[in-house]
Amino acid sequence: MENKRYDLMHRHLLMTAGKLLHDIPFSKIKVKEICVAAEINRNTFYRHFVDKYELLDELLNTSVQSIYTTLDIDKFKKYPFETIKAFHFDGTIEVLEFQLQDRTFEDLFYKSIFKALSTVTTDQELLWLVGNLYVVQLWNTNRDVPYDLRRDYHILDQIVTTKQFPPAETNGPLN
Protein backbone atom coordinates (compact mmCIF):
# COMPACT_ATOMS: atom_id res chain seq x y z
CA MET A 1 0.00 0.00 0.00
CA GLU A 2 2.85 2.40 0.83
CA ASN A 3 4.43 1.96 -2.64
CA LYS A 4 1.10 2.68 -4.32
CA ARG A 5 0.64 5.84 -2.25
CA TYR A 6 4.24 6.88 -3.01
CA ASP A 7 3.74 6.27 -6.76
CA LEU A 8 0.46 8.21 -6.80
CA MET A 9 2.07 11.19 -5.05
CA HIS A 10 5.07 11.03 -7.38
CA ARG A 11 2.81 11.19 -10.43
CA HIS A 12 0.75 13.93 -8.80
CA LEU A 13 3.88 16.06 -8.35
CA LEU A 14 4.93 15.50 -11.97
CA MET A 15 1.46 16.43 -13.24
CA THR A 16 1.28 19.49 -10.99
CA ALA A 17 4.66 20.73 -12.21
CA GLY A 18 3.57 20.05 -15.79
CA LYS A 19 0.52 22.26 -15.28
CA LEU A 20 2.63 25.06 -13.79
CA LEU A 21 4.89 24.94 -16.85
CA HIS A 22 1.95 26.11 -18.98
CA ASP A 23 2.00 29.56 -17.37
CA ILE A 24 5.24 30.12 -15.46
CA PRO A 25 8.78 30.02 -16.88
CA PHE A 26 10.68 27.15 -15.27
CA SER A 27 13.36 29.44 -13.84
CA LYS A 28 10.62 31.34 -11.95
CA ILE A 29 8.92 28.26 -10.47
CA LYS A 30 9.81 27.65 -6.83
CA VAL A 31 9.48 24.37 -4.95
CA LYS A 32 7.09 26.21 -2.63
CA GLU A 33 4.78 26.97 -5.61
CA ILE A 34 4.79 23.31 -6.64
CA CYS A 35 3.92 22.32 -3.08
CA VAL A 36 1.10 24.86 -2.84
CA ALA A 37 -0.34 23.80 -6.21
CA ALA A 38 -0.05 20.11 -5.25
CA GLU A 39 -1.47 20.80 -1.77
CA ILE A 40 1.42 19.10 0.01
CA ASN A 41 4.17 20.17 2.38
CA ARG A 42 7.81 20.63 1.37
CA ASN A 43 8.92 17.45 3.17
CA THR A 44 6.67 15.42 0.90
CA PHE A 45 8.20 17.06 -2.16
CA TYR A 46 11.73 16.31 -0.95
CA ARG A 47 10.87 12.65 -0.34
CA HIS A 48 10.34 12.41 -4.09
CA PHE A 49 12.83 14.85 -5.61
CA VAL A 50 16.11 16.48 -4.60
CA ASP A 51 14.98 19.73 -6.24
CA LYS A 52 12.90 21.14 -9.08
CA TYR A 53 15.67 20.30 -11.56
CA GLU A 54 15.45 16.61 -10.80
CA LEU A 55 11.66 16.80 -11.16
CA LEU A 56 11.99 18.48 -14.58
CA ASP A 57 14.60 15.95 -15.67
CA GLU A 58 12.25 13.08 -14.83
CA LEU A 59 9.31 14.83 -16.50
CA LEU A 60 11.28 15.37 -19.70
CA ASN A 61 12.87 11.92 -19.63
CA THR A 62 9.48 10.25 -19.29
CA SER A 63 8.06 12.38 -22.11
CA VAL A 64 10.98 11.68 -24.46
CA GLN A 65 10.81 7.94 -23.85
CA SER A 66 7.06 7.97 -24.47
CA ILE A 67 7.40 9.97 -27.68
CA TYR A 68 10.31 7.83 -28.90
CA THR A 69 8.16 4.69 -28.84
CA THR A 70 5.66 6.28 -31.26
CA LEU A 71 8.12 8.31 -33.32
CA ASP A 72 8.71 7.60 -37.00
CA ILE A 73 12.51 7.82 -36.80
CA ASP A 74 13.06 8.04 -40.56
CA LYS A 75 10.58 10.92 -40.88
CA PHE A 76 12.10 12.63 -37.84
CA LYS A 77 15.56 12.45 -39.42
CA LYS A 78 14.28 14.07 -42.64
CA TYR A 79 11.80 16.56 -41.13
CA PRO A 80 12.54 16.96 -37.41
CA PHE A 81 10.63 20.19 -36.80
CA GLU A 82 7.64 19.00 -38.81
CA THR A 83 7.63 15.79 -36.77
CA ILE A 84 7.83 17.74 -33.52
CA LYS A 85 5.02 20.01 -34.72
CA ALA A 86 2.83 16.95 -35.28
CA PHE A 87 2.75 16.25 -31.54
CA HIS A 88 -0.33 18.25 -30.51
CA PHE A 89 -1.30 16.43 -27.35
CA ASP A 90 -2.34 18.60 -24.38
CA GLY A 91 -0.90 21.81 -25.78
CA THR A 92 2.62 20.41 -25.58
CA ILE A 93 3.99 22.48 -28.47
CA GLU A 94 2.64 25.70 -26.98
CA VAL A 95 4.16 24.90 -23.59
CA LEU A 96 7.44 23.93 -25.21
CA GLU A 97 7.62 27.14 -27.22
CA PHE A 98 6.79 29.14 -24.11
CA GLN A 99 9.37 27.37 -21.96
CA LEU A 100 12.12 27.44 -24.60
CA GLN A 101 12.17 31.22 -24.12
CA ASP A 102 13.53 30.50 -20.62
CA ARG A 103 17.29 29.82 -20.87
CA THR A 104 17.30 27.60 -17.78
CA PHE A 105 14.57 25.40 -19.21
CA GLU A 106 16.14 25.41 -22.67
CA ASP A 107 19.48 24.12 -21.39
CA LEU A 108 17.85 21.43 -19.25
CA PHE A 109 15.47 20.47 -22.05
CA TYR A 110 18.15 19.68 -24.61
CA LYS A 111 20.38 17.93 -22.06
CA SER A 112 17.42 15.80 -20.98
CA ILE A 113 16.44 14.96 -24.55
CA PHE A 114 19.97 13.93 -25.40
CA LYS A 115 20.29 11.89 -22.20
CA ALA A 116 16.93 10.19 -22.72
CA LEU A 117 17.60 9.42 -26.39
CA SER A 118 21.04 8.05 -25.60
CA THR A 119 19.41 5.53 -23.26
CA VAL A 120 16.98 4.27 -25.92
CA THR A 121 19.18 4.37 -29.04
CA THR A 122 22.77 4.17 -30.20
CA ASP A 123 21.91 5.74 -33.56
CA GLN A 124 24.65 8.36 -33.86
CA GLU A 125 22.91 10.11 -36.75
CA LEU A 126 19.89 10.66 -34.52
CA LEU A 127 22.03 11.93 -31.65
CA TRP A 128 23.85 14.38 -33.96
CA LEU A 129 20.47 15.55 -35.23
CA VAL A 130 19.37 16.39 -31.69
CA GLY A 131 22.51 18.51 -31.30
CA ASN A 132 21.74 20.29 -34.57
CA LEU A 133 18.16 20.93 -33.43
CA TYR A 134 19.54 22.56 -30.30
CA VAL A 135 21.77 24.85 -32.37
CA VAL A 136 18.90 25.82 -34.69
CA GLN A 137 16.55 26.43 -31.74
CA LEU A 138 19.19 28.52 -29.95
CA TRP A 139 19.74 30.56 -33.11
CA ASN A 140 15.98 30.96 -33.56
CA THR A 141 15.29 32.14 -30.01
CA ASN A 142 17.95 34.84 -30.41
CA ARG A 143 16.30 36.30 -33.53
CA ASP A 144 14.42 39.58 -33.24
CA VAL A 145 11.36 37.79 -34.62
CA PRO A 146 11.76 34.03 -34.06
CA TYR A 147 10.20 31.56 -36.44
CA ASP A 148 7.05 29.94 -35.08
CA LEU A 149 7.32 26.15 -34.81
CA ARG A 150 3.67 25.60 -35.78
CA ARG A 151 3.80 27.84 -38.84
CA ASP A 152 7.47 27.91 -39.93
CA TYR A 153 8.57 24.32 -39.27
CA HIS A 154 9.50 23.86 -42.96
CA ILE A 155 12.00 26.74 -42.74
CA LEU A 156 13.54 25.26 -39.60
CA ASP A 157 13.74 21.84 -41.27
CA GLN A 158 15.45 23.43 -44.26
CA ILE A 159 18.04 25.02 -41.96
CA VAL A 160 18.76 21.62 -40.39
CA THR A 161 18.96 19.93 -43.81
CA THR A 162 21.19 22.52 -45.48
CA LYS A 163 23.11 23.40 -42.32
CA GLN A 164 22.76 27.06 -43.34
CA PHE A 165 20.93 29.90 -41.68
CA PRO A 166 18.96 32.33 -43.87
CA PRO A 167 20.62 35.70 -44.51
CA ALA A 168 20.03 38.07 -41.61
CA GLU A 169 17.86 40.45 -43.61
CA THR A 170 15.34 37.81 -44.73
CA ASN A 171 12.63 36.00 -42.86
CA GLY A 172 11.79 33.62 -45.67
CA PRO A 173 13.09 30.23 -46.75
CA LEU A 174 16.56 29.69 -48.08
CA ASN A 175 17.18 29.83 -51.81
Question: How far apart are alpha carbons 173 and 147 in whole angstroms?
Answer: 11
Nearest to 16 by CA among 55, 62, 43: 55
Predicted TM-score of the model (pTM): 0.72
Kindly tell me if the per-residue pLDDT of 171 is higher than 60: no
Residue-wise pLDDT for 97-119, tens only, equals 788 788 888 888 877 777 777 77
| Element of type H or E holding 27 | none
Give the pLDDT confidence of 65-85 residue by residue, as tens digits.
777 777 788 888 899 888 877
- Report d(CA 81, CA 65) in Å as an integer: 18
- pLDDT category, 54, cuts 50, 70, 90? very high
Closest to 78 measured CA to CA, from 153, 165, 175, 173: 153
pLDDT tens digit string along 120-150?
778 888 888 888 988 998 898 888 888 887 7
- Non-local (6+) Cβ contacts of 138 within 8 A are 106
d(C-alpha 28, C-alpha 82), whole Å: 30
State the pLDDT at residue 87.
64
